[in-house]
Structures are given as C-alpha cells and as structure tokens.
Structure 1
Amino acid sequence: LRHCIFQCLSTAAKEKRQFTRITEAYLESNTIIALQEDRFLETENGWLKMNLAISKNSVDTSSYISELCQQKNKDYEQYYPLVKVLSDRNSINNTRLMADLEKTLYPAKITDATIPTFVIPIKPWWAQNLFDKELAEATLFGAKEELALRRELVYYRSRKPSGGLEAPGRILWYVSKDNDSENSSYIVSAIRACSRIDEIVIGKPKELYKRFRRLGIYEFKNVLQTAKNDLEREIMAIKFSDTELFSKPIELIEIQQIVEQKVSFQWPYRITPNAFSIIYNIGTSNLTEK
C-alpha cells in the first residue's frame, strides 16, 4: 500500500502536479494510517498531499509554497505554516526539522538545509537488487518482484570507516564498477540515485538480521559475510527509503570536479550542501524545477 502511495506521489511530481488528492469517501483504517504516515492532510472532501519536484533554498521554497497557497482552493491554506518555518533562517540549521519538511514535501529538496549528505559506494549487484531498476533490467532475471514493491530497505556495511554517517540524512548512491559490469552498456562508477537515511544501527550480525530481515534481499549468510564471518563483530545497518533514480548518472570525473577533491569513494563520503545541490540538479535535470 505505501509503495502504491509512493508511486502516485512520484508520478504526480514528474508530471509537475504540485498536489495529490484522495477523494474516495470510504477508506479502511490501514489506508488512513498509511496516508497520515505520508503526511497527507485531511480535508472536507478527502485527503491532500503537497508533492513538489523542486530543488530550491529555504527562502525560495517558502515563496513557492506561498504562491501555491494563494490559489483559489482553501485546502491549500493548510500549508501556510510551512511558509513561515522555511522563511526563518534559523530553521535551516535544525537538521531534524529540515529532514521532516523534505519528507512532507517529497520529492522537494531544500538545498541550503544542514541535512548531512553522504556519497555511499555500492556494488552493481546490490544496487540492482535494492533500488536500481535500470541495472536490474540489464540482467537475465531482473530484480526480485517483492523487493520492487518496497520503499523502505536496509543496506549493510562495515562499521568503519563510516565517514561520519548519521541519521536523518541523505544518500547519494555511487554504483561502483566490478567484473560483471565491465561489459555492460549501463553507466557505473557514477552516482545513480538519491535516498533518505531513516536510521543507522550498529550491532552484531544476528541481532541486525533479526531486526531488519523484512527490509531487503539479504540472507543471514550475506550479513555474516559483511562481518567477515565473525558473529561477534559489529557492523552497520543503514535503513533508507524513498529512492529516486537519476535520469542522468553523474560519473566519477564530474563528481570529483564538483566536490573539488580527487576522491575514489571506497567508503561513505560527506559532501557540502552546495555540492549536493549541484549533483542532485544534474541527476534530475529532466524532472526538477530549479
């Protein structure tokens, strides 16, 4: 159900529709809960959600929302409080508040917010099975169907070096090159997607697998391999959601020019808000309004 809602929001944003409205009069309780979790607001005639395909700083986002609220629909006025919050310069330094607003306005990105953003390397096989539909379609069997219907997933990695990973935050997925991808026509050694970091948990293989086994393709043997087959070694679980695939992958040379560092992305790498803004705008060039 939540995946269907996510697909509706994503489609609406791609089509430059700023709002999604649910007008069905009789909804089951689990549907109402799902809508509330996705920040739909109740109106006289149903439910309403703002979904903005924009990438702007906080002040410009505030102005954009203000203009939308002035349209001849009183339901839109429920979003007026966001105008004030986003126009307050102190708000951009409140990481949790800004991350929460990005979730409320998904897929909008508030480019000057102090939301920590990390480039995280991932091998093509894991990428295609966790989120990258294009890579999956290039393989013989494609991605697992049940995984394609999930919007919350987990990725395991070694605990260190962590690059300062923290939640809430953003991930830019850098799909690395491996032997299987060398002859592929699809672009690797590139940033191919963006996700939201919901939670980071450190723990031993068994406890992490028990906690997150429903969120992904990992079997216990895969989790144990991440811990170098040591049941007592602590590893990291990154819970992420709402992944956006980029229409234009950003290759390594271009990334290095943007971050002004000759990095190779062997582990998570934190980037500045300005670097994130540039990379995100390039990656979603056909979808977002700057």
Structure 2
Amino acid sequence: MELRAAAAPDVLRDLADPQAHGHRSGLLVADHLAGRLQLVVTSSMRQEVTRLTSQSERLLIEVIDSYPEVHADRAEVTSTRDRILKEVRSQHPGYPDTPQEHDALDHVAHAAAAGLNVFLTWDTDLIAMLGPAVARVTGMVLMSPDHAVVHLDELANAESFLKEEVEGGELDREHADSPLDAELAAFVARHAGERRDELEERVHRLRNAGHTVELLHLDDGTAVALYAVVPDGEVWRVPLLRLADHRLADTLARHLLWSLRRRARAAGVALLDVSEPYLSRRVVQAADFESMTHADGHWYAPVVDVCGSSRDVAAAAARSLSLAGLGAPPLLAPGVSAHAAARLEQAWWPAKIIDSELPCFVVPIRTAFAFELFGYPDGMTQRDTQLSLGREHVYYHSARNSVLTAPARILWLATGKGHGSGHFFGTSKLDGLMVDTPRRLYEALSYYGVFGLKAVIGAANGQPTAEALRLSNTEVFTHPVSVRRYEAMRSRLADGPSTFFSARRLNPRLFAEIYDTGTRSSANA
C-alpha cells in the first residue's frame, strides 16, 4: 500500500539542495521506498513558490514540478483552517503571530482538506503547536521525515500498529509517532540534568536504527510512559524507560516491567535487560519489588519459561543469567521450601517448580468478579484502571473450613452462567491470607479489590469473619481449560478433586498439566 504524504517547504528545499542540511531528507527518496511512499505538494504551496524568482527558489520550483499536485475545495480549506485554528487557540490564543505561522497554517489546512493523512516537516515547533490539534480535528498526522518509515510500516502492518488497549483498562500502547515531539517534555530526566534536546536525540537515534519507541497513553490522551525495546537474540534490551509524573506512576512502573516480561516470554526471549541510565526512583523501586537483579547499572529479569522439576528450572535459569554474564544460581533439589520456591518463581517468572513444597489450590470465582479483577472473560466492559494496571489484587471468600495456606499457587475456576464459566482460566501467586470481620477487611484492603462492603459481608456467608486472599503475578491463560478436559486429566492421573464448591487442594502434577495446556496448547481446551 502506497502512502501519500504532503511535503512542507522545508522538506522540499532539502530535496532541491541536498547538501544544505546534510542530505537529511534524502531518506524520503531512497530506492527501497519506491512504490511505498509518494510525496505530493498542495496547489497552495505551488502557487506560493512559483511567485519566487531567486536561483535557489527556481531549483525548488523544479523539485515541486517533479511531484504530483493535490487540490482541495476552497470552502473546505477555509472550514478546515477555521476548525484547526479554533482548537489551537484554546491553548495558544495569539496563534498565528507571524507571516510564517500564517503560511504554515495554510499549508497544513490545505493538505488536510485534500484528504491527506500525513504532513512531513522538520519544524518541531510546528509539530508541537499544530500536531495535536490537527490530529484531533482532521486525523492528519504531522511528522518529521525520519518518522516516515515508521508510518509506512504502520500502513503495511496496520493491525500490529493500531492502538492496543492494555489489560482492558483505560491505557493504550502505541508506537510513538510525530506527536512524540510535543510530549517529550514530560519524560526529560531533569533529576539527572538531562536536557530535552538530549532525550530527543536519543529517541531519534533509536528510531533511525530501526528500533521501536512506544508510548503509553491514558484515555484522556495523557502520555504516561515512554520506552524502547531492542531485540538482541535471546535478550530484550530496554535502553529507554521513562515515566511521567502522574498519580498512577507507582502502579504504572510495576505494570510496565510486568508487561515487558510477559511480552518477552511470548516472544521466546530468555532475558530482559533494562539499561536506561536515568531510571526514576519509582522504576528502581518497582524493579526491586519485581525481584529483578541489579548489576553494573543494569536491571535484569530472567524469563524462565519452564513448568517442571527443580533441576529443569534451575538449568533454564542458569542459562538465562549467563546471557547477562551473571553467576549460575545454586543447585536446586526436590523439596524446596514453599517460601523459597515462591521467591524463586517471582524472580524467574514464569517458572513453576513443581517438585517444591509450594502447594497448589483451585479457587472458584464468579465470572463477574473474575472480569473485574483479572479481565476474564475479555470484552465485557471497561475495567477499573487501578485494578487493570495493579500487580496485586485481593479476593474474599468464606473463612469457614478454609484449606488455603500461603504462599501458594492459585488456579482460578470461573463459575456461574454465561460466557467463560466452567473453565480454569488462570493462575496467581497467593502472597498472604487475612482473616477478620468483613468491615475491617474492607477498610484495610478495599484499595486492591472489587468487592464493596456489602459484597465482603456476603462473601463471609453468614459467618462473623471472612478470608482475604492477597494475590500477585496473575496470568490469564491463552487457552482456558474446560472442566470436561480437566476431568479427562484427572482420570488419567487418578488424582484431583471432582467438585469445587469451595477452595480445594490440587496435586502439583495436575496443576502443571492444566497450566501447560492453558499457556501453550493451540488445541481447543
């Protein structure tokens, strides 16, 4: 698919006199872009240039004559200009203030009215001033030419570059494009003395090297995170990782590291290496909470995708750590204590040490609560942002005859009626248990859960106390496992509970088979 993009006068002047700016716009006419990018000029731009008479401007006229001309209805241009101007003046009442600003506004309005989707310019002030307003009003993107390749890839592979809703909440991840120039200020590491132009240069170097720079936005358009991932064989390197100062910054820091680990796992990567030199205090704290390893200015997270024996898990962990030049972990033997296994599974996620003393339990949960806490089943409604981004959750049930102990692994079974019920859909790490009156539990833990006080009282099932499960590291299966399939597994292993009216202990071997089926199987589960 060929992209048509309007070239601003500064880009056209580069093409008329390539040496003037170090051939910076030459990438737009590179051979490999033939058939993928078509530069066009607007009729208003041509009219402006043809009035010029100097030798350099005659060269510019020759360049313009080599590109197709696009036209727009005069009334539509005026209407588009007025709508853009109204949007811009809500933030900058005095715009436009100079003849150059008037001309730039006219060129942008004409391109948008002609139905173009991209306007190319090196003028970062113009991008910052008009870019957000133009995108909101017309959908056209103002971008610098070195971002053009990113936009071409977007068109060639539209699905992977569309805004992606993260965790069913109000957070969107997208490949950073031209609006980034207007948003960089929120990510400058002022605590380390960094200047905006230094950060801008880092971002441009990463892009020019073909690496992806991503932005996380809230639904209101606020940019809250900026980062880059550089694949390097079995390692994902993260040389850029910034958070904006926001009320959710602490939650976002842990969520972002967790998300990177999950994506690395999905890509078959064995090690995540965060090498950002100006990590904020929040991210450092989050990396410590996530049990990442700090060495020589890097934070490492081994991605040990093994659900098996202590020997197999330790061997895979040693291999991952060797990619960072770190020493091998201690040898593990069967019977690792529950607490030690929980710590190792946290540090080496998604590792599961099946022959350890860490117990496994099945906990039934109604689909409505499963969605609010974990996003299963997907597509119901939009979830609470704090819950969707949070790494820790709380679930309540009756304390009567509870068999749960902590730490442990929880296997979730969706119950009730409708879509998603009757399936084992995910697993969590059980970090702790609290037993108290419903009111005291609610007052202490409501920040983490979806239950109102009335629901916590109901979870106590008529008893004076309820039990709160403190949870983390929740994985939702890509292939939820039906109860019918579970029955076949249980029959084959001659072990496992047959009913789940309340929490039940589960044989680790059966847990491993369900987990493996839910996370790896492409068959219908």
Q: Give 1:225-240 correspondences, 5 Å limit.
A: 225-228=458-461, 233-240=464-471
Cα deviation for residue 225 of structure 1 reads: 2.0
Could you tell me which of 358, 361, 385 is aligned with 1:115? 358
Show the counterpart of 1:24.
276
Which runs of 5 or more structure 2 residues have no equivalent in the other structure?
1-252
Cα deviation for residue 7 of structure 1 reads: 0.8
Which string of whole-angstrom CA distances, capped at 9 and with x for unpartnered residues, describes residues 61-96 of structure 1?
A: 22223334455x52x32xx1x2x242x34xx34111
Cα deviation for residue 286 of structure 1 reads: 4.9
Q: For CA contacts below 8 A with separation 6 or more, give which structure has more relative contact order.
A: 1
Show the counterpart of 1:144.
384
Cα deviation for residue 209 of structure 1 reads: 0.8
Normalised to the residue count of structure 2, the TM-score between the two structures is: 0.48
Show the counterpart of 1:279.
514
SS at match of 1:62: helix
Over the aligned positions, Cα root-mean-square deviation in angstroms equals: 1.9
Matched, 1:193 2:445: no
Change (3 A) 1:52 1:224: same
Matched, 1:217 2:443: no
Retained in 2: the 8 A contact 1:161–1:267?
no
C-alpha separation in 2, matches of 1:120 and 1:143: 22
C-alpha separation in 1, matches of 2:502 and 2:396: 12
Show the counterpart of 2:260.
8
SS at match of 1:193: strand
Normalised to the residue count of structure 1, the TM-score between the two structures is: 0.85
Cα deviation for residue 50 of structure 1 reads: 0.8
Which string of whole-angstrom CA distances, capped at 9 and with x for unpartnered residues, describes residues 87-113 of structure 1?
A: x34xx3411111111111011111222
C-alpha separation in 1, matches of 2:336 and 2:408: 13
Retained in 2: the 8 A contact 1:129–1:136?
no
Change (3 A) 1:97 1:188: same
Retained in 1: the 8 A contact 2:497–2:506?
no
C-alpha separation in 1, matches of 2:303 and 2:314: 14
Show the counterpart of 1:126.
369
C-alpha separation in 2, matches of 1:161 and 1:256: 25
SS at match of 2:427: strand
Letter matched to residue 447 of structure 2: R
Letter matched to residue 110 of structure 1: I
C-alpha separation in 2, matches of 1:15 and 1:286: 16
Could you tell me which of 76, 83, 99 is aligned with 2:342? 99
C-alpha separation in 1, matches of 2:406 and 2:272: 28
Retained in 2: the 8 A contact 1:195–1:240?
yes
C-alpha separation in 2, matches of 1:65 and 1:25: 26
SS at match of 2:288: helix
Letter matched to residue 263 of structure 1: S
Matched, 1:161 2:392: no
C-alpha separation in 2, matches of 1:70 and 1:238: 36
Cα deviation for residue 262 of structure 1 reads: 6.2
C-alpha separation in 1, matches of 2:413 and 2:508: 17
Q: Taking every aligned residue pair, what percent have the same amino acid on both sides? A: 25
Aligned length: 266
